[in-house]
Amino acid sequence: TDPYVIAIDGPAAAGKGTLAKRLAEHYGLGYLDTGLLYRAVGRLARERGVDPDDAEAAGRLARELVPSHLDDGSLRGHEAGEWASRVAAHPSVRTALTDFQRDFARRPGGAVLDGRDIGTVICPQAPVKIFVTASAEVRARRRTDELLAKGRGVDYAQILDEVRQRDARDSGRSTAPLRPASDARLLDTSDLDIEAAFRAACAIVDASP
């Protein structure tokens, strides 16, 4: 039988990463933040002066990606996310990153992967799929609070605008658009704190075959 996989998808800033990491710890599974792969390709494009909207050039960079490109704390920021979502629209880029993600999902101990198309494209056979959402306002508010806590000056209206733009780009692309798999369970965290969201996710996992 295939190793156990939990697929977590959802829009930017919905709290997927925090949730996925906690689930991985709780159930003793490996964890892969697949957004980091796209962020690393976006970063390479930037460093090399490659146009992120050039499908062929971005695809070449994705094929050059090596794991050491992933350990860079600055990949997490908003700007890297923007570049990521631009290169992520190209089939050439997505194809180049598929094997790495599927190999990770086949680890003998099982794994949690989070992203946009884990349940639909990367691991369509995953026994557990959770689509994590929250309203754009709540996601923008959380991101604003996070940045404020780091002492950064931020503008809620601007962040809300960015969240909506990223949603539109991720949902509107023709390859692997952001959408729940038909057999995914929806988890709306708009009114849940991290603890409550974690408990709700565990309930979904525990109720799965």
Cβ–Cβ under 8 Å, residues 29 and 123: no
Strand locations in 10-159, DSSP E? 30-33, 111-115, 128-133
| Residue 85 tokens, joined | 């979502």
170 binds ligand C5P (CB under 6 A): yes
Cβ–Cβ under 8 Å, residues 77 and 98: no
Q: How far is the CB of 175 from ligand C5P (least distance, A)?
A: 9
- In the complex with ligand C5P, which residue's Cβ is closer, 14 or 57? 14
Q: Out of 15, 59, 81, 119, name the contact with ligand C5P by CB under 6 A.
A: 81
Residue count at the site for ligand C5P (CB under 6 A)? 14
Q: How far is the CB of 108 from ligand C5P (least distance, A)?
A: 23
166 binds ligand C5P (CB under 6 A): yes
7 binds ligand C5P (CB under 6 A): no
| Residue 26 tokens, joined | 């709780």
Q: Out of 7, 20, 65, 84, name the contact with ligand C5P by CB under 6 A.
A: 84
Residue 6's DSSP bridge partners are: 112, 128
- In the complex with ligand C5P, which residue's Cβ is closer, 80 or 209? 80
H/E stretch holding 92 reads: helix 91-105
Strands 5-9, 128-133: pairing is parallel
Give 131's DSSP letter: E
| Residue 32 tokens, joined | 């892969």
What is the C-alpha to C-alpha distance for residues 146 and 139, in angstroms, rounded to an integer?
11
117 binds ligand C5P (CB under 6 A): yes
Q: Out of 43, 90, 116, 139, name the contact with ligand C5P by CB under 6 A.
A: 116
35 binds ligand C5P (CB under 6 A): yes
Residues that bind ligand C5P (CB under 6 A): 12, 34-35, 38-39, 81, 84-85, 88, 115-117, 166, 170
